[in-house]
C-alpha cells in the first residue's frame, strides 16, 4: 500500500523519463519488440550486440509494451521491481532481526533515498530489478546451507539465475556483498548446532555455488562469450561518481547525501550495534565495504577492490547496495525507538523517511540528467522520409535524447549511449562518452568527433543534427554544410556531399543464430520459472529449529544487552 501511494502516481506521471538511463532501457526494449531472437542492433555504432547487457528487464518491457506501449511498460516493470524490493528486504531482514524490525525495514525501503535516486534520476532499471531478486533468493540460500532444504535449493538457484539475467554488474560485484554475509551467518548458526557437521555445511555451500554458477553460465552464455572474446579495452571514460566527494562537494551531495538521506543519521548506530552483536558482524562487514566503495575516489578502497573495473563502473550502485544492507539495522533502530518513545519516535521517523524520499525524487527536477527539454519527433520524421534513412547520422547537443530518437527512427547512427557495446576504433581509442556530448569530455571528446567526421565516407555518415552552435565551426571546417532547419530553427541539419549509402558492417561481434535463440529463451525463461517455483510450499521446520535460529527475542532487550 505504501508503494502504491508513494511510487505509483510518480510512475503514472512518467517521471523516470527525465532520468539519465530510462530512454536507454526503452531503446533496448524497442529492439526486442521487433527482433526478439536477434540481439544484433543496427541503430547504434553502425551495429552492436545487445548480448553485452543482460536482457531480462528490457524483455519484460518489450512484452508488456504490446499492450500499453513502451513508456508505460517501463513504468510497470519498474513498479514491480519496487514491490519486489519491499518483499525482498523483509525476507532478507528476517535473517538478522525480529519480524517487527524486518517489517519496518521493508517499509523503509519504499522511502529509501537510493531507490528514489536510481529510479527517478539515474534510471538504472537493471540495478533496481536485479537487487530485489537477489534479496528474495538469499533466504533460500540460507535455508539450504543451514538445513539442507531441497525446496530452498531449487528456489535459490532459479532466483539467482533470474537476478543474473537482469543485471551483470550486480551479479559480478553486488552479489558478493549480499551472499558472503549470509553464508557467514549460516556458519555462525551452525556452530551453535552440534547436529550439523562441518562436512555437511561445506558440501551444501560448494554444491549451491557450483550449481548456481553453472546455471548462470548457461543462461548468460552469449554474454560471457562477448565479454571474453571482445573485452572492454577502450580508454576509460570519466564519471563524477568516481570523484573525491570532499574535494568536489557538489558530487558528494549528488552521490552521497541524496542516496543516503536520513540514513546518514543512523550510521553511528549501524557501526556500534553491528560491531557489538556477533551475529550482525557479517552484515556490518558487507555494508561497510559497499559503503566505502560507493564513496568513489574519496577513499582508495574502490580502486583496491575493483582494480580496472573502477574506471568502468559507476559508483552510485554501490551506495544503493550499501543502503539495502543497512535496512535491517534501520528496522532494528526504529523498532527500539518506537518501543521507547512511542508516538514521538514514530512521527520523527516518518518525517525523516518522507524527507529522504521527497528529496531523492525532487532531485530529478533540481538536477535533471538533461536540462534541455525538447522533442525529437521532427528529427525522426525527417530521417524516416525521402530515403534519408539510407545514410547514417549523428546528433550534437542532444544529450540523452539520442536514445529516444533511436526508438522513433529507422535510421542508423555511429553514436550511442552504451559504452560497452561500441567497437568502432574512432570511439574506443578516446576517453569520451557519447559523441552528442563531445565538448563535455574535453579534448578526448572532440578528438573522437573529428575522427568520426573524417571517416564519414567509411560509415555512410551523411547527416548531422545540430542543436548546440558550439560545434558549427568544427562542422564547417570539416566540409559539412547546412541544408535544413527543424523545431523552429532550433535544430539544424548538416550534410556532407558524396557520401555513399550506409552498408552493414561485417563485424565479428555479430552473434550467430544459436546465440540469438538462447538470448531470447533462457533469460526470460528463468523469470517465468522463478514465478512458478516460489509457489512450491515450504517445509515447516520444527519448533526447536526455529527457536535455535531466532535472531532477535525482543528488540528492546537486545539493545540493552548490546549496550
Contact 156, 144 (CB under 8 A): yes
Statement to judge: residues 477 and 363 lie in one domain: no
Backbone φ and ψ of 48, nearest 5°: -150, 165
**Residue 359 sits in the same domain as residue 393:** no
With a CB cutoff of 8 Å and minimum separation 6, the contacts of 27 are: 43, 403, 404, 406, 407, 417
Task: Number of helices (H) and strands (E) in the chain: give both, helices first.
Answer: 29, 6
148 by Cβ neighbours in 10 Å (0-12 / 13-18 / 19+) ranks as middle
Looking at residue 309, its pLDDT comes to 86
Tell the burial category of 329 from Cβ atoms under 10 Å away from its Cβ (0-12, 13-18, 19+).
buried
**Residue 194 located in a structural domain:** yes
Residue 511 counted as domain residue: no
Instruction: Report pLDDT for 420.
Output: 84
Residue 446 belongs to some domain of the structure: yes
Strand-pairing partners, residue 492, are 466, 485
From first to last of its 563 residues, what are the pLDDT tens digits of the chain?
A: 999 999 999 999 999 998 989 999 999 999 999 999 999 999 999 999 999 999 999 999 999 999 999 999 999 999 999 999 999 999 999 999 999 999 999 999 999 999 999 999 999 999 999 999 999 999 999 999 988 889 999 999 999 999 999 999 899 898 889 999 999 999 888 766 655 667 888 899 999 999 999 999 999 999 999 989 887 777 778 889 999 999 999 999 999 999 999 999 999 999 999 999 999 999 999 999 999 999 999 999 999 999 888 988 899 999 999 999 999 999 999 999 999 999 999 999 999 999 999 999 999 888 887 656 788 999 999 999 999 999 999 999 998 899 999 999 999 999 999 988 888 888 888 878 889 999 988 888 899 999 999 999 999 999 999 998 999 999 999 889 999 999 888 899 999 998 999 988 888 889 999 999 999 999 999 999 999 998 888 766 555 555 444 454 444 444 444 44
pTM over 0.95: no
- The sign of the dihedral angle between the CA atoms of 299, 168, 21, 237 is positive
Specify whether the CB–CB gap between 529 and 487 falls below 8 A.
Answer: no
Instruction: Indicate whether 88 and 140 sit together in one domain.
Output: yes
Domain limit, last residue, from 464, 495, 526: 495
Q: Are residues 362 and 384 in the same domain?
A: no
| Residues 417 and 543 grouped into a single domain | no
Assess whether 352 and 449 both reside in one domain: no
Q: Does residue 504 form part of some domain? A: no
514 in any annotated domain: no
What's the confidence (pLDDT) of residue 541? 58
336 and 393 both lie in a single domain: no
Decide which of 438, 472, 495 is a domain's last residue: 495
User: Does the residue 332 lie in any domain?
Assistant: yes
Boundary-marking domain end, from 495, 513, 542: 495
Q: Do residues 325 and 421 both lie within one domain?
A: no
Q: Name the helix (H) or strand (E) containing 142.
A: helix 125-147
Whether 64 is in a domain gets the answer: no
515 within domain boundaries: no
Pair (213, 309) in one structural domain: yes
pLDDT of residue 460: 93
Give the three cell numbers for residue 338.
Answer: 518506537
Number of structural domains (the chain) is 2
Q: Are residues 310 and 363 in the same domain?
A: yes
User: Please, which residues have CB within 8 angstroms of residue 318's CB and are 6 or more apart in sequence?
Assistant: 173, 174, 290, 291, 293, 294, 302
**Minimal CA–CA distance to 127: which of 221, 263, 6, 241?**
241
- In this structure, are 178 and 283 located in the same domain? yes
pLDDT at 12 (0 to 100)? 95
CB atoms within 10 A of CB 548: 13
301, with CB counted inside 10 A (0-12, 13-18, 19+), is middle
Query: According to the model, what pLDDT value does residue 132 have?
Result: 96
307 and 395 in a single domain? The answer is no
Domain of residue 11: give its range.
2-17+69-368+534-562
Amino acid at each position: 500500500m505504501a508503494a502504491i501511494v508513494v511510487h505509483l502516481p510518480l510512475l503514472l506521471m512518467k517521471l523516470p523519463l527525465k532520468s539519465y538511463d530510462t530512454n536507454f532501457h526503452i531503446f533496448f526494449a524497442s529492439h526486442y519488440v521487433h527482433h526478439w531472437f536477434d540481439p544484433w542492433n543496427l541503430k547504434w555504432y553502425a551495429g552492436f550486440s545487445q548480448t553485452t547487457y543482460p536482457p531480462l528487464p528490457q524483455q519484460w518491457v518489450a512484452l508488456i509494451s504490446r499492450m500499453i506501449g513502451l513508456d508505460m511498460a517501463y513504468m510497470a516493470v519498474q513498479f514491480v521491481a519496487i514491490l519486489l524490493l519491499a518483499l525482498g528486504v523483509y525476507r532478507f531482514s528476517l535473517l538478522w532481526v525480529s519480524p517487527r524490525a524486518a517489517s519496518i525495514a521493508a517499509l523503509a525501503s519504499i522511502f529509501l533515498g537510493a531507490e528514489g535516486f536510481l529510479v527517478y534520476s539515474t534510471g538504472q532499471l537493471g540495478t533496481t530489478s536485479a537487487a530485489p531478486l537477489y534479496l528474495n533468493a538469499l533466504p533460500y540460500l540460507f535455508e539450504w546451507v543451514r538445513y539442507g532444504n531441497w525446496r530452498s535449493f531449487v528456489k535459490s538457484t532459479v532466483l539467482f539465475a533470474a537476478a543474473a539475467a537482469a543485471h551483470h554488474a550486480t551479479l559480478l560485484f553486488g552479489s558478493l556483498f549480499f551472499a558472503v554475509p549470509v553464508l557467514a551467518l549460516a556458519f555462525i548458526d551452525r556452530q551453535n548446532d552440534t547436529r550439523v557437521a562441518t562436512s555437511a555445511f561445506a558440501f551444501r555451500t560448494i554444491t549451491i555455488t557450483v550449481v548456481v554458477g553453472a546455471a548462470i553460465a548457461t543462461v548468460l552464455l552469449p554474454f560471457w562469450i562477448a565479454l571474453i572474446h571482445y573485452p572492454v579495452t577502450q580508454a576509460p571514460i570519466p564519471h563524477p561518481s568516481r570523484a573525491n566527494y570532499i574535494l568536489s562537494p557538489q558530487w558528494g551531495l549528488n552521490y552521497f547525501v541524496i542516496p543516503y538521506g536520513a540514513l546518514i543519521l543512523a550510521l553511528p548506530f549501524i557501526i556500534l550495534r553491528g560491531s557489538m552483536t556477533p551475529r550482525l558482524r557479517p552484515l556490518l562487514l558487507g555494508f561497510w565495504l559497499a559503503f566505502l566503495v560507493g564513496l568513489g575516489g574519496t577513499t582508495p578502497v574502490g580502486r583496491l577492490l575493483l582494480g580496472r573495473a573502477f574506471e568502468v563502473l559507476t559508483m552510485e550502485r554501490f551506495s544503493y547496495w550499501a543502503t539495502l544492507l543497512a535496512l535491517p539495522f534501520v528496522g532494528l533502530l526504529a523498532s527500539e525507538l518506537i518501543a521507547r518513545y512511542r508516538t514521538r519516535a514514530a512521527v520523527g521517523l516518518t518525517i525523516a523517511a518522507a524527507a529522504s524520499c521527497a528529496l531523492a525524487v525532487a532531485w530529478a527536477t533540481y538536477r535533471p540528467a538533461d536540462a534541455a527539454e525538447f522533442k525529437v519527433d521532427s528529427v525522426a520524421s525527417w530521417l524516416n522520409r525521402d530515403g534519408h534513412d539510407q545514410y547514417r547520422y549523428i546528433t550534437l547537443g542532444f544529450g540523452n535524447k539520442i536514445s529516444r530518437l533511436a526508438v522513433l527512427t529507422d535510421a542508423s547512427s555511429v553514436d550511442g549511449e552504451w559504452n560497452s557495446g561500441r567497437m568502432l576504433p574512432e570511439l574506443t581509442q578516446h576517453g569520451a562518452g557519447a559523441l552528442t556530448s563531445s565538448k563535455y569530455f574535453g579534448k578526448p571528446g572532440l578528438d573522437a568527433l573529428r575522427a568520426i567526421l573524417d571517416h564519414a565516407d567509411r560509415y555512410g555518415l551523411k547527416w548531422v543534427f545540430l542543436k548546440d552552435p558550439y560545434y558549427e565551426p568544427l562542422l564547417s571546417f570539416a566540409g559539412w554544410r547546412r541544408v535544413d532547419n527543424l523545431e523552429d530553427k532550433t535544430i539544424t541539419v548538416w550534410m556532407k556531399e558524396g557520401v555513399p549509402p550506409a552498408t552493414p558492417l561485417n563485424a565479428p561481434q555479430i552473434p550467430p543464430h544459436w546465440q540469438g535463440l538462447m538470448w531470447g529463451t533462457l533469460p526470460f525463461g528463468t523469470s517465468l520459472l522463478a514465478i512458478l517455483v516460489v509457489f512450491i510450499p515450504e517445509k515447516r521446520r520444527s519448533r526447536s529449529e526455529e527457536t535455535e535460529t531466532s535472531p532477535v527475542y525482543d528488540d528492546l532487550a537486545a539493545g540493552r544487552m548490546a549496550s
